[in-house]
Every structure is written in C-alpha cells, then in structure tokens.
Amino acid sequence: MLKDKICFIGVGQAGGNIVDLFTDLGYDSIVVNTQNSDSSYLNVTNKYIIEEVSGFGHNREKAKEYAYKHKEIILKQINSSIQDKEIVIVVFSAGGGTGSGIGTVISDLLSNKDNKEVCIVSAMPSYKEALNIQVNAYKCLVDISNLKKINSVFLIDNNKGDIISLNKKFADLFDTFIKMSEISSIKGNVDDAEIKELLLTRGCSVLYKADNADKLLEEYHENNIFVDIENDRKIVYMGLSTNSLIDYTYFYDKVGIPLDTFININDKFSFLILSGLSFPKLRAEKILSLINDRRKDVEEAINNSISDSIQDRLEWNVRANKGVLLEDIFRKY
C-alpha cells in the first residue's frame, strides 16, 4: 500500500498537532520540537526533542541557523525512522519560528537524499496574526520556492476557518487522496502509480471533497481550505474521483488544461486534486503589503515603550525583505 511508504515529520507545535492526526489514521510519523514545548499529549511515538534549546521565540532565522549547525544530529535522529520510506512529508507552520525555520531546513536536507521524495505541508497564518508572524510567513514562502527538489506543497490557509477544523479537514482530504486506488470501477480507475505522479509533482497542490459531483463543480473554488491558486492557468495534473459521470472539462475552463487527468468512479463521494500549480505570488504580495502597512504602527509602539534591542530585531526582519523581486523568486513556478 502507498500509505505504508509515507512518513510524516511534524516540526514545531503546529506541525506536531497536524501529524498527530495522521498518526491516528495509521501513518508513520515523527515530531521534532524544542525542550519547552509540551509534546506529551501527542500520540506520535517517535519524538525528537531538541534538549539544548528552550525555544526560538518566533525567530526563524535563529531556528534555521541552529538546524544547519546541528544538521548531522537532526538527520541521524530522523533517518532511523524513515529508512524504509519512499515519501517524506514535512509539516510545519509558516508563521512560527521552530516550524518554519527548522522545517524548511529539514525539507532541504532530505530532498537532497537520493532515495527520498519530499513534500511539504505548511499552515499559512491568517491576516489577523501579528507583524512578526507575517514576516516569518513571507520568508518561509521564499525559502520553500527556492527548494529545487521539493514535490507537492500543500499550503493550508488559516483565514478559512479555525485551526483545529482546518487541520482535521486536511488529514481527511489527504487520507482520501492516498486511498483513491482502493476504489475500482469498470468506468475508470486511479492506481498508486498515478497517485504518486500527482503527489510527486513540483509546485502547489490542492484537494477538495464533496458529497456529490454537482457540489464539487459548484463549491471547489469557494470552500477549499488552501491558499487561493493563481490565475495564470498553469497546472500539470488533475485527479478526479466522482460518484457520477460529469463533464470534467469544466475544471479546465476554471484552472487550465493539465498535462494529464486521472479519473475514477466511486459511489460514495466526489474528490478533486490539482497538482503542479504555480506558487502563490498573490498571497506573497498580500503578506508583504500587510507587513508594510503595519510596520509604522508597530514601530511607533516600539519607540514609545519597548527596548532598542527589540526594535533592532524588527528592523532587521523587515529590512531583509527589501529589494526582493517576487517575479524572480517565483519565476520557476
């Protein structure tokens, strides 16, 4: 079974919470977190606690620096749990420090191993989150876009519901996707090789599930849990499982014509996956706009009541974004 070839690695608190849901669904998983983070409530059995670090305080640059400095130790801990796995899915929050910092480093290191395919699941913060969270998310998007050997990237959008519900929906969607080959019909089948093709395609991917084909056609764009896709109509693959025959070219009109489409028929639900989508330049632009809009208010508060050391850190964070051309960063997508 394809499921047995997959291992999830949850980095940071958010990553651990999402991966715990997959543990309950029977997937192998690992949690990587710092010493002061409580992971005792998680059902994940393989936990790597960074004992010499109490936390990174939303400072992802510090987390990245630590991860690269201690990469041999981190990889040694992880490798013992993924030796027999073909696909590793690294899960983390884009807005935090530990997850977005160490998570991107682990993804980078593992993607350069000859026998591993790496995907990423990252939760994007809502627009209501604090300034430093937005800065982290922007930098995280840049880092992910520069990882040359990463396959599917699933970006959960925390603007689209409460975090617990979004995480559960994603776990259900992904599990349904991986099990598509268990549904067979003389009218069409999707096998494990085709599911792997959908999953191991570079670019962003989205999943959507509905009770019936009509709802899939009507709701897939408005009610999905992922960051909105670009309007450039660039797509590599589409996977479709429906409980009735539909005109699937409807989706071509909405998202573009894919290289190939994999279709099966089932009698329970309708399901859609789009893979090889462009990286979300529009979301990155929105985050950068939020950073610039809020910077003045935060700087004023800092000047009035907070120490110079924190001001220096804020200026360093925002200054790091200046001169970055989104077109150059995301051109590869």
Q: What percent of the chain has pLDDT over 70?
A: 84
pLDDT of 14 > 80? The answer is yes
The separation between the first and the last C-alpha atoms of the chain, rounded to the nearest angstrom, is 31
Q: What is the pLDDT of residue 190?
A: 83
List CB contacts of 153: < 8 A, sequence separation 6 or more. 119, 120, 121, 122, 144, 203, 204, 205, 279
**Which two structure tokens, joined as six digits, stand for 256?**
């573009």
Query: Residue 182 — very low, low, confident or very high, per pLDDT cuts 50/70/90?
Result: confident
Mean pLDDT of the chain: 84
Neighbour count for residue 228 (Cβ, 10 Å): 16
Reported as a single tens digit per residue, the pLDDT across 273-302 is 999 999 999 999 999 898 888 877 766 665
CATH fold group of domain 179-277: 60s Ribosomal Protein L30; Chain: A; (3.30.1330)
From residue 250, alpha-carbon distances to 188, 240, 246, 267 in Å are: 18, 12, 9, 21
User: How many angstroms from the chain centroid is the CA of residue 20?
Assistant: 15
The residue ranking higher by pLDDT, 220 or 149, is: 149
Residue pointed to by tokens 């479709």: 240
Alpha-carbon gap, residue 166 to 107, rounded angstroms: 23
Check: CATH 3.40.50.1440 for 2-177?
yes
Nearest to 245 by CA among 261, 265, 260: 265
Helix/strand/coil for 331: coil
Residues of the chain with CATH 3.30.1330.150: 179-277
Task: State both tokens at 43.
Answer: 């059902």
Neighbours of 313 (CB within 10 A): 16
Task: Please tell me whether residue 280 adopts helix, strand or coil conformation.
Answer: coil
Q: For the segment 141-159, what is each residue's pLDDT rounded down to a tens digit? A: 999 999 989 999 999 999 9
Residue 17's pLDDT is 94
On whether the CB atoms of residues 256 and 274 are closer than 8 A, the answer is: no
Per-residue confidence (pLDDT) for residue 248, from 0 to 100: 80
Give CATH 3.40.50.1440 domain extents, the chain: 2-177
pTM reported for the whole predicted model? 0.88
Percent of the chain with pLDDT over 90: 49
